A and B are shown apart, each in its own frame.
Chain A
Amino acid sequence: MGAYESRKLAIPETHPEHEEYWEAAAEGNLILKHCDSCGEYHYYPRELCPFCKSDKTTWKGAKGTGTIYTYSVMRKGGQYAIAFVTLDEGPRMMTNIVDCDLNGLHIDQRVKVVFKQSGNQDNPGPFVPCFTPIL
């Protein structure tokens, strides 16, 4: 037991200020909010920088690579790997690790972004960023 099984991702409730994020995701790009005042990236994206409270936040493309900060594989109620990934730009984000042997995961593993569509065929939702090990 450990092989990745495709699972239905719950559809996120989208908020108006994140339109660009979901549009980029549909095109296979991860974008982050960057504060032009203090120079910090943050996650999840906000209008006001959570560090310096400036409203000079803009979207910037991320490399889409990072390392596993922590993770856990659910063994009951459906097998999947939830994780926090530290992006190379700095911020940590909650995600799923997909398309791999879930028994082979470890902290500090290098991963790259892949996008999975939430919902299902009858009710498709936005693509959401997941990660898979870099081989």
Chain B
Amino acid sequence: MTIKGRAYIAGAFEHPIRKAPDMSVSTIHAECARGALADAGLSFADVDGYFCAGDAPGGVQSMVDYLGLDVRHVDGTDTGGSSYIAHVSHAAQAIISGACNVALITMGGRPRSEGRSGVKQKMVGANVPDSPFEFPYGPTAVNEYAMATMRHMYEYGTTSEQLAWVKVAASHHASFNPDALLRDVVTVDDVLSSPMIADPLHRLDCCVVSDGGGAIVVVSPEIAKSLKRPLIRVMGAGESIKGLLGGKADITYSGGVWSGAAAFAEAGVKPQDIKYASIYDSFTITVLMQLEDLGFCNKGEGGKFVADGNLISGVGKLPINTDGGGLNNNHPSSRGGMVKLIEAVRQLRGEAHPKVQVSNCDLALVHGTGGGLASRHGSATLILERV
């Protein structure tokens, strides 16, 4: 059962807050829900499907009650920061099967206010099968991605200078976003001279830690056409889980090789057809590897691809993350997938900042990597078209 052309994104909202010391996480979810429904021209009473992931306090059971929803379909799939991208395709499947007509997806969190960061040891719950063999060694968000970077550099000659170009592009885009947490344009030298956090990743190779959130509304074609918003059609989706493969791990590629191929096949388009891409940017290496894994360049050539401003809107061949991305704008709840969806919707509607808006942007890709690039992660890819 293909989802191609059978569900639409009708509403999107990014919470403008980046520091929320006085708000609860559930309040952030609620404000995002209200914002996205208002954007679509719908009300809470129209929602009959609800989706959230691990950032939502109490999961679907608490959140449906808290929001006062009357739903007949729920989904609490959690693949880390890629969850919300997977939720869009799950929502499309639910709409096609008749399980719901208006699907609300919310996310939010306050890691900045709670003092969480990527250099602290990852916490794991009881009975996680891999935990006894990893937990003592101090895996963190940064050193896991750093290990993937180190091996990528070893196998392909990727350099810190090339990685820095990902941050340079993000900072250029963020300079036009009044809500971005970091708005100063930086140079390659600025990245290389920033403090080393975990070899070979510098501070400016790492995303921001921000409070905030966002929400998306996915609807049936009939409802989409009744609303006064541009029509953004879901064209293809893919998802995958990649782990350490029983000890045969190769951490130079991600599950994006599978989720990306599935999404392109379903949509019937190729990487070179994509006008704008939202690429998960928890770290600069995440972008570089995903561009390879999704087929925007050959494996090992990501370094050359991102260099010299190739990711900057109006300058390079592939504009990405024109809101400033997780590196500069927002990485709410340390889960970047929702914001990736929202900027793709802005681009397809022509509502991005004029300085970064891609002309005639009718086909966009959204890709997320949730979890650890050097251990286990969920990948989700989505291809969206403006009708």
Contact = CB atoms under 8 A, between A and B. Distances in A.
Interface string A85-110: 00000111111100000000001000
Contacts of A90: 247-248
Interface string B115-152: 00001110000110111111111111011101111110
Max chain A Cβ within 10 angstroms of own Cβ: one of B130, B142, B198: B198
B378 to A, nearest CB: 18
A96 B247 contact: no
Nearest to B201: A72
B248 to A, nearest CB: 7
Q: Please tell me the size bucket of the interface on B.
A: 35 or more
A26 interface: no
Nearest to B152: A70
A55 to B, nearest CB: 15
B231 interface: no
Q: Please tell me the size bucket of the interface on A.
A: 35 or more
A83 interface: yes
B248 A71 contact: no
Given A10-B136, A13-B135, A41 B119 contact: no
A70 B135 contact: no
A80 B137 CA distance: 9
Interface in B146-189: 146-151, 154
B135 A46 contact: no
A12 interface: yes
A64 interface: no
Nearest to B245: A50
A44 B132 contact: yes
A12 B375 CA distance: 17
A15 B246 contact: no
A95 B245 CA distance: 16
Interface of A: 7, 9-15, 18, 40-46, 50-51, 69-78, 80, 82-84, 90-96, 107, 118, 125, 128
Given A43-B133, A72-B147, 20 more contacts: A9-B138, A12-B136, A13-B127, A14-B132, A42-B247, A44-B132, A45-B133, A50-B246, A74-B138, A74-B142, A76-B196, A77-B119, A77-B120, A78-B138, A82-B139, A82-B147, A91-B247, A92-B247, A94-B139, A107-B154
27 contacts: A7-B138, A9-B137, A9-B138, A10-B121, A12-B131, A12-B132, A13-B135, A15-B132, A42-B246, A69-B151, A70-B150, A70-B374, A72-B143, A72-B146, A72-B200, A74-B197, A75-B195, A76-B197, A77-B140, A82-B144, A90-B248, A91-B247, A92-B247, A93-B133, A94-B137, A96-B137, A107-B154
